[in-house]
Every structure is written in C-alpha cells, then in structure tokens.
Amino acid sequence: MTRSITILSENFADWETALINSTGRGYFGFQTRFATPGGAAVTSSGGMRILPDLAIEAIDLDELDLLIVCGGTVWQSEQAPDISALISTAHAKNLIVAGICDGTRVLAQAGVLDAVRHTSNSAENLLALNYAGAAHYQDVPYAVADQRVVTAPGTAPVSFMAQILRVAGIHDERLDAYLAMHAAEHSHPG
C-alpha cells in the first residue's frame, strides 16, 4: 500500500490534488492523509474546510512513500511555512515528492528541482526564487516526472495524478481507462 500525505495550507487550491488522492485511495488502495501547519484546520480557495490528520511538524518520513505539496496562495506570501528541510529530506530518502502549482515553489526552495526536469505555472514563478534548477525547467502544460519528483502547473491535475501513479509503479488498464475518461472531455468540440 502506498502511504501518502498531502500538505495543505490556508486557501489551498482544492482541485489540484483531489484526483490523485481520490484515485489513489479509491482505485489503488493508497493510505491518504493530510497535514497542515500546526495541524490547524484550513479552508480551501473554494471554501471547503479541512480538519487535517496531523501537523506538518509531526510528519514521520519513515512512514511515508509519497509527499505531495498542494498549491495555494500562501506559498507566495510571508505566511508560507518553511518546510524546505522536510521536502529535501523526503527527496534524499527517495520518497516520491510532488508539487503542483505554487507547491512547485516549495520544491524549488528546498533544492529538489536543482537537477531534475520539472515544470510549474510558469518559468517566472520559479525564477523569482533564484533557484539553481532553471536549466531543467520544461515549459509544458502537463505534469513532468523525473527522478521520483513530479511537478505540474495548477491546470494539470489529471496528468499530475497519472505521473504520480506511474512513478509509484502503477500503470494498468484501470489507470488507462481513468485517463481516457478524463481525456474525453477535451475531445469534445464545444
């Protein structure tokens, strides 16, 4: 069973990690848990209130396979918690580390994107951080996976989910069917 924790912050972008958590838990038996700064309840950008399973500070990386950072406006503010050490340690332990939207900023600040192909909402979103991985940035509208690191722009929750599952070693007919179901929307002309 894949054990995952998604890090959420106040005003998190609720659509960004919904598919990976729902699909992982519902179809592939993931243990999905959620962590916030101090273990406090947070409210998403859509108004959904979440009471987390634990505080970010209580995350035990030895009990984890996948660490996801959900995007949200906090990651571009002074209120952003400094979780760089947690993220860099998770990457050093060879856990799958994933960030979507402004969650990619957290990975960049932790040095995780310095030597892996990655993406984000835009190159400028990460360049503002003066990170060392700019040469590896991929200007694409879908998720990128490299060396157990998965990144995506906020508009790519489907490919984010798919890349995380692939990195976790899951690529079967259920995933193909699920991806085809989501792709069908984009083949409609109107």
Give a yes or no: residue 142 inside a domain.
Answer: yes
* 190 has a pLDDT exceeding 70: no
Give a yes or no: residue 190 inside a domain.
Answer: no
Q: What is the pTM of this model?
A: 0.96
Give a yes or no: residue 13 inside a domain.
Answer: yes
Give a yes or no: residue 161 inside a domain.
Answer: yes
152: domain CATH number is 3.40.50.880
What per-residue confidence (pLDDT) applies to 174?
83
Per residue in 26-49, pLDDT (tens digit) is 989 999 999 999 999 999 999 999
**Secondary structure letter of residue 78 according to DSSP:** T
80, 110 Cβ separation under 8 angstroms: no
* Cβ burial, residue 136 (10 Å; 0-12/13-18/19+): middle
* 5 has a pLDDT exceeding 90: yes
Domain total for the chain? 1
What per-residue confidence (pLDDT) applies to 188?
64
Give a yes or no: residue 153 inside a domain.
Answer: yes
Per residue in 47-106, pLDDT (tens digit) is 999 999 999 999 999 999 999 999 999 999 999 999 999 999 999 999 999 999 999 999
Q: Give the span between the Cα atoms of 90 and 84, in whole angstroms.
A: 10
Q: Could you list the residue range(s) of the whole structural domain that residue 36 is in?
A: 3-185
